[in-house]
Amino acid sequence: MTLFLKQNSSNKIADRLNLVGSKIACALSDRISLCNKNWNIAEGQGLVNGKTGATFNGRVLLWNCKCRLCAFCVSSISTRNRKISNYIIENQPKETYFCGRYEVPYEWRFVVLTMPDDALIGLSLFHQRQVFYHAWRLFSTKSEYFKKVVSGGIKTEEFTFDSAPNPYHYHGNLLLYCQFLNQEQFKKDWTKYVKASFKHFGLSWQTPKTKSKLLNVYLKRVVDQRVNEDHKTLLSVQNAVKYLCKYVTKSQTWEDIPLSDLKEIIENRRFWRMFEPFGSCRETAKPIRPKAVKTPAKPVVIVNPRAGEIISLLSNGAFYVHSPTINATTPIFAPANPAHAPPIKPKKKSWFYRISNNLITNEKYRNELINNFIHIRQFRIKQLRSLYPTAKFRMLDGAKFHGESCICGACPRGY
Ligand SMILES: [Zn+2]
Ligand SMILES: [Zn+2]
Distance, in Å, from the CA atom of 249 to the CA atom of 47, rounded to the nearest integer, reads 28
CA–centroid distance, residue 389 to ligand 2 (Å): 10
Ligand nearest to the CA of 75: 1
Tell me, in angstroms, the distance from the centre of ligand 1 to residue 324's CA.
Answer: 26
Helix (H, G, I), strand (E, B) or coil at 334: coil
Residue 321 C-alpha to ligand 2 middle, in angstroms? Answer: 26
Average pLDDT of 140-164?
90
Q: What is the pLDDT of residues 253-311, one digit of tens each?
A: 777 788 888 888 888 766 656 889 999 999 999 888 665 444 443 333 334 444 445 55
If 0-12 CB within 10 Å is exposed, 13-18 middle and 19+ buried, where does residue 8 land? middle
Least distant ligand from the CA of 29: 1
Q: Is the dihedral of CA 373, 374, 379, 384 positive or negative?
A: positive
Residue 323 to residues 86, 299, 384, Cα–Cα distance (Å): 18, 16, 15
Ligand that lies nearest to the alpha carbon of residue 404, given by its number in the listed order: 2
408 C-alpha to ligand 2 centroid (Å): 4
How many A from CA of 51 to the centre of ligand 2?
A: 24
pTM: 0.77
Q: How far is the CA of 391 from the centre of ligand 2 (A)?
A: 8
The mean pLDDT of 70-82, rounded to a whole number, is 86
8 CA → ligand 1 middle, Å? 12
The mean per-residue pLDDT over the stretch 313-338 comes to: 48
State how far the Cα of 40 lies from the Cα of 277, in Å rounded to an integer: 32
* Cα–Cα distance, 156 to 154 (Å, whole number): 7
CA atoms of 4 and 306, how far apart (whole Å): 32
- The pLDDT confidence band at residue 2, using thresholds 50, 70 and 90, is confident
Distance 323 CA to ligand 2 centre (A): 26
- For the cut 90, the answer to whether the pLDDT of residue 132 exceeds it is yes
Distance 362 CA to ligand 1 centre (A): 19
The ligand with the least distance to the CA atom of 400 is: 2
User: Of 106, 85, 93, whose CA–CA distance to 241 is shortest?
Assistant: 85
User: How much distance in Å is there from the Cα of 47 to the middle of ligand 2?
Assistant: 13
Give the pLDDT of residue 292: 40
Give the percent of the chain with pLDDT over 70.
82
Cα of 409 to ligand 2 centre, how many Å? 6
Q: Which range is least confidently modeled, 12-26, 54-68, 295-309?
A: 295-309
pLDDT given for residue 339 in this prediction: 54
SS3 of residue 45 by DSSP: strand
313 C-alpha to center of ligand 2: Å? 26
Q: Which residue has the higher pLDDT, 37 or 230?
A: 37
Ligand closest to the CA atom of residue 13: 1
307 C-alpha to center of ligand 2: Å?
Answer: 17
Considering every ligand atom shown, identify the ligand nearest to the alpha carbon of residue 393 and give its number: 2
**CB crowding 199-215: b at 16 or more within 10 Å, else e:** eeeebeeeebeeeeebb
Ion ligand 2 neighbours, Cβ < 5 Å: 402, 406, 408, 411
Of 154, 183, 19, which Cα lies nearest the Cα of 81?
A: 154
- Strand 217-223 relative to strand 234-236: parallel, antiparallel, unpaired? parallel
